[in-house]
Structure 1
Amino acid sequence: MHRADVARRAAPGRMMSPRPIRVLCVVPRGITGRGGIETLFAHVDEQLRSGPDTGLEMVFMDSRGGASRAGWIFYFPFALAHYVWLLASRRYDIVHLNTTTNASAWRKWLLQSIAGLAGVKTVVHFHSSFLPKPGEPRGVWVSVLRRVFERAGAVVVLGEYWRTFVARFYDMPAERFQVVANGVVDFAPAAPQAREEGAPVRLLFAGNLTDAKGAGVLLQSLALLPPELPKWHAVLAGAGDVAAFRDRATELGIAGEVEFTGWMVRDTILPLYRQTDIVVLPSRSEGLPVCLLEGACAGAALVSTPVGSIADVLHDGENGLMVMPDDPDALAHALAQLIGDAARREAFRTASRSIYVSRFQLEAMIGALREVYQKVLASR
């Protein structure tokens, strides 16, 4: 069981301020876990601990730990007992539940029910990039998730795309859903950093090595790059079947240009972003991926797919290029344009940094969450 982490409220010597809003935030794998939600709230935890007083005090706990697939069934009872103990041992104003779909909906339904018995309001933060399309079968979890949304004091989604999509899917008023864009700590205030002349163009894929994330398509596209391009080097940083993807790179003849690191902790991967020229994520579906926000923060050009709320951070032709999912030829063409055109690549890098500063600094996300909490508490 990951320990519960309490965010520091105010530096010693400050004048007394009103009591902060106390939030118990349930993160699936905890803030040290592997995943986008976990990385997002690791950024939040860092900001609350080291930044100015925000009027929030957050405790983080995990609900499934590092268990894979159905392994959560064995872990969850212990997490549930810990959750009950936290609610019983200290008064919280808000329980913040991060949810996706399938089994996550059932877990959050139970946690929300217990919070209700304890008299604590819940805010539900929906991160999934998947809901059944018309004609597809709907599992029981679909109705369970609707119930979770209906009982919540507020439902948070990642962008206007998701507000519209989820509201239509559930035939609920759009105003029921509050948009709070993801944000990341500004770990690269001097970005974009100048590159040494003649240095290889550095590409980064940060995510699980799966077909859903487009890792296989990326390898195919790299093998299609023209040999006359300037030198390039690609890093694929993520968990998954690393050996199989490494073998695939060897089969495609690009093993010398592609590096597989496995999962990298934040202290290791953030410096890598600062050295990266192009962040690429050819996913089939996404919410608002943290890796693209981290890429924008570090001043990298972005190449990704027009799914979910990616268009909020990747402005096609301004700070990056959009390609359709599962199209290695189009992806290779986009990457070749940026590898071969240093002036355009540098313009995109500068634009990425500007987009990050204007919309995705972590202070904005935390402020928006605080406003959601305040509205929920005021509605009592």
Structure 2
Amino acid sequence: MIVGPLPPPVGGVETVTKALLESHAFREFEVRHCDTTKGRSKQTQGKFDLGNMWWAMIHFRRMLSNATSFKPDAVYMPVTATWSGFWRDAVLALIGRRVGAKIVGHVHGAWFDRILARKGLTGKLVRVCISQYDTLLMLGTPWKRLIESYGYRGNVFIVSPTVSWKCYEEGKTFVRRYENSFGKGLFVGQVGARKGVFELLEALQCLKVAGKKALMTIVGPPEFKGEWDTVMTCWKKLGLQDIVRFTGPLEGETLYREFRDNDYLVLPSHSEGLPIVMLEAGMFGLPVVATPVGAVTDVLEHERNALIVQPGDAKGLAEAIERVVKDAELRKRLGCELRRDVDRYQPDAICNRIAVAIVKTIEAKRV
């Protein structure tokens, strides 16, 4: 049984769930989907509010109904790295175990380390919840090391997120002209401090004051309540209204148009799981400037397929942006190398890895 939400809104979990349901990797399985879509904005995720509590109860009932009628051998499900989402997922896993299924959890999100770092009674409860998973799929090498150092005794595999088939197909057919640059950069993600938006604005102001060409399109919703107003205040205070535009969240063709129309992607995050936008940008041959957080360096290598700067380093970010804007050969080298590298993250490749992990979990004895 595949547990997970479907878009909209679009995110890594939703994209992987949709890819699994469409993939040929599960043609030898009898598959049922337990839909945990909420249809609420990303801004509400991780909150202990009445809306999320209501949807959690719906998902518990839905999981119980599907598990008791379908009686799966294995349950594949995302494990969320927000505090409220982690507990909801633990209950869903418990329901699956009660009908005798083995549980394969796919950990998503940037803050799973904070959950594992809990102490006292809540820390003990976290360990109990983690022990319910027979297998954990982690987004990259640092996350695999983290769960192994935690003392988790189940199977651990590295399985990254993927892009949608539509994004993959659109990117594969797009021909980028690296020699033509208008200094146009792109940020895609939740807008706020965690994603490094304030350092990005500071870097752009440095370039503007120095008379350097650097335009920026910022795509996405605010991550937390109140952050949008704070970002807008910073944007105006730094005098960036003429070079920085905000679009809000974009999906599908409108987002792909931004990938085509801009010259590079910048992702100056302070924490990440493994950002799907990095893979999407790579599909369109965009050179990337990013920070070495989460599992980013499982994909990006400084000076080979990306430029890497340290989180919070606005000056270093400005210098990297200036290099990408000015140097067509650099853009071409980084973009072409990344495009080749991210091809291994296409949907069927990732779905096959998940299918293999599920089979190994079913065949293994429960620890």
Range of TM-score over shorter length: 0.7 to 0.9
What corresponds to 1:166 in structure 2? 147
Distance in 2, Cα, partners of 1:360 & 1:132: 24
What corresponds to 2:33 in structure 1? 59
Q: What is the deviation of 1:176?
A: 2.7
| Alignment pair present for 1:203 and 2:203 | no
Tell me whether 112-121 or 188-197 shows the greater mean CA deviation: 188-197
Tell me whether 51-60 or 99-108 shows the greater mean CA deviation: 51-60
| Alignment pair present for 1:350 and 2:336 | yes
Tell me whether 281-290 or 261-270 shows the greater mean CA deviation: 261-270
Contact 1:106–1:144, Cα closer than 8 Å, also in 2: no
| Alignment pair present for 1:220 and 2:212 | no
Distance in 1, Cα, partners of 2:200 & 2:156: 34
Contact 2:178–2:331, Cα closer than 8 Å, also in 1: no
Q: What is the deviation of 1:131?
A: 4.6
What corresponds to 2:266 in structure 1? 280
Closer/same/farther in 2, CA of residues 156 and 337 from structure 1, 3 Å limit: same
| Alignment pair present for 1:24 and 2:25 | no
Distance in 2, Cα, partners of 1:84 & 1:140: 28
Q: What is the deviation of 1:40?
A: 3.8
Distance in 2, Cα, partners of 1:115 & 1:193: 47
Counting aligned pairs with the same residue, the percent is: 24
Letter in 2 for 1:379: A
Contact 1:192–1:349, Cα closer than 8 Å, also in 2: no
Correspondences of 1:159-308 after superposition (within 5 Å): 159-168=140-149, 170-172=150-152, 176-184=155-163, 185=165, 186-187=168-169, 188-194=171-177, 197=180, 199-226=181-208, 227-229=210-212, 231-240=213-222, 241-308=227-294
Question: For 1:70, which of 25, 42, 48 is the aligned residue?
Answer: 48
Q: What is the deviation of 1:215?
A: 1.3
Closer/same/farther in 2, CA of residues 298 and 334 from structure 1, 3 Å limit: same
Contact 1:220–1:252, Cα closer than 8 Å, also in 2: yes
Contact 1:159–1:181, Cα closer than 8 Å, also in 2: yes
Closer/same/farther in 2, CA of residues 93 and 275 from structure 1, 3 Å limit: farther
Distance in 2, Cα, partners of 1:302 & 1:265: 20
Q: Which structure is higher in helix share?
A: 2
Tell me whether 96-105 or 34-43 shows the greater mean CA deviation: 34-43
Distance in 2, Cα, partners of 1:250 & 1:132: 35
Correspondences of 1:79-118 after superposition (within 5 Å): 79-101=59-81, 102-118=83-99
Q: What is the deviation of 1:322?
A: 0.9
Q: What is the deviation of 1:154?
A: 1.2
Q: What is the deviation of 1:64?
A: 5.5
Distance in 2, Cα, partners of 1:362 & 1:111: 25
Q: What is the deviation of 1:260?
A: 0.8
What residue ranges of structure 2 are gaps of 5+ in the alignment? none
| Alignment pair present for 1:38 and 2:14 | yes
SS of the residue 2:265 aligns to: strand
Q: What is the deviation of 1:140?
A: 4.7
Root-mean-square deviation over aligned CA pairs: 2.7
Q: What is the deviation of 1:247?
A: 3.8
Closer/same/farther in 2, CA of residues 364 and 190 from structure 1, 3 Å limit: same
| Alignment pair present for 1:373 and 2:354 | no
Q: What is the deviation of 1:364?
A: 1.3
Closer/same/farther in 2, CA of residues 132 and 287 from structure 1, 3 Å limit: closer
What corresponds to 1:6 in structure 2? none
Closer/same/farther in 2, CA of residues 282 and 308 from structure 1, 3 Å limit: same
Q: What is the deviation of 1:309?
A: 0.8
What corresponds to 1:129 in structure 2? 110
Distance in 2, Cα, partners of 1:148 & 1:99: 11
Contact 2:178–2:328, Cα closer than 8 Å, also in 1: no
Distance in 2, Cα, partners of 1:204 & 1:183: 20
Distance in 2, Cα, partners of 1:105 & 1:214: 25
Q: What is the deviation of 1:91?
A: 4.2
Contact 1:106–1:141, Cα closer than 8 Å, also in 2: no
Q: What is the deviation of 1:150?
A: 2.1
Contact 1:280–1:303, Cα closer than 8 Å, also in 2: yes
Distance in 2, Cα, partners of 1:223 & 1:261: 19
Distance in 2, Cα, partners of 1:341 & 1:324: 21
Q: What is the deviation of 1:267?
A: 3.7
Q: State how many pairs are aligned.
A: 348
TM-score by length of 1: 0.82
Letter in 1 for 2:347: L
Q: Deviations over 1:237-283 (max 9, x none)?
A: 11114454234222212212211111112343133223332111111
Distance in 2, Cα, partners of 1:115 & 1:233: 50
What residue ranges of structure 1 are gaps of 5+ in the alignment? 1-22
Letter in 1 for 2:157: Q
